[in-house]
Amino acid sequence: MRKKTIILTLIIIFAIILSIFGYNSYNTFKNPTSAFSSTKMPNSSKITDKAKKNNSEFSSEKIYLAFLGLDMTDERIKTIGNFRTDTIGIFSIDLKTKKVNLLSIPRDTYVQIPGRKGYDKINAAYPYGGMGKSGYELSLKTISNFLGIDVNYYISIDMQNISQIVDAVGGVPINVEEDMHTHGANLNKGYQVLDGKKAEEYVRWRYDPMGDINRVKRQQQFLLAFLKQLKANKNDVSSYIKLYDAFKGDIYTNLNFNQILALISVMKDVNADDIKTYTVPGSFYNLNNISYWKPDMEKLNEILKEFK
């Protein structure tokens, strides 16, 4: 009798937990802003004073999310001992209107990194912060200070995992704008479906005269094409299972489960063609034989008016 009582109690407890989880998930899908309703800034971002002045009150209806692609490779870890955020994109996501903008920051952008003297490349903030959680914190703080926006959240992946992610959705159709046959790439110009290997070549290649600036444009084009392909597969459950397996263990974020659900509920209704893309404007700047991207702050501030 005691055994039956224990089992019955466990079943009731499980049912209560399940019902609470189900309600929260349903509420999150119905009202995405509920997942970001805290009036406090997330501790992990340690937002700068400049950003706080521009955003005196934390809004739960619009969030800024950093996508950070790591250039982590076994060779780099052995030779240098660290890696950087070589891909930096900031999403402006209006949870209510479901409007999304994307601002790309070239990896060599010349900025001030909090806690360090002088200026450096923005992608250096991650290793300066100690990589891992503290590296992401300094990256968000640097980005927020640079843009004057409270960028509180991040999603990060190892760029070397692009190939398995692309293969999980059956490849990505894209128009390759020029021949790429150097530095490990083997791509011909023209419209084609890129498999995982070729997709990685496409998003990482930066060996034309504009270097990383044209690579940023390619990454934006690729991301929009990937989102279109994802929506095209929305009824194919197996592709989502493969995608989950591809991401599992290789994605880093400070979003909680409900916040991820909220973003999924928003993004499923977003048309990739409606996403406006921007890149931090500027010019190449050489200092001590090191090439930087020096931002044009006047033009950037004009872009930020639209972006925000």
Distance CA 63, CA 194 (A): 32
25 exposure class (CB count in 10 Å sphere: 0-12, 13-18, 19+):
middle
DSSP output for 64-87: EEEEEEE---HHHHHHTS---EEE
Amino acid 56: pLDDT: 37
- pLDDT above 90 coverage of the chain, percent: 51
The residue behind tokens 């197996």 is 238
1-18 residue pLDDT tens: 544 444 444 444 444 444
181-232 residue pLDDT tens: 999 999 999 999 999 999 999 999 999 989 899 999 999 999 999 988 888 8
- What is the pTM for the complete model shown? 0.81
Nearest to 138 by CA among 151, 171, 148, 183: 151
Distance CA 68, CA 279 (A): 15
Q: How far apart are the first and last CA of the chain?
A: 63
Neighbouring CB atoms inside 10 A of 193's CB total 14
177-185 contact pairs (CB < 8 A, 24+): 177/218, 178/208, 180/205, 180/207, 182/207, 183/207
Neighbouring CB atoms inside 10 A of 12's CB total 10
Distance CA 139, CA 136 (A): 5
Across the chain, mean pLDDT equals 81
72-106 residue pLDDT tens: 666 656 656 567 898 999 999 999 899 999 999 99
Contact predicate 95/264, CB 8 Å: no
Give me the mean pLDDT over the 37-60 stretch.
Answer: 46
Asked whether the predicted pLDDT for residue 173 surpasses 50, the reply is yes
Residue 169 contacts by C-beta under 8 Å, 6 or more apart in sequence?
226, 229, 230, 233, 239, 242, 243
Domain 32-307 has CATH 3.20.20.70: no
130-147 residue pLDDT tens: 988 999 999 999 999 999
Strand partners, 92: 64, 101
Residue ranges of domains in the chain: 32-307
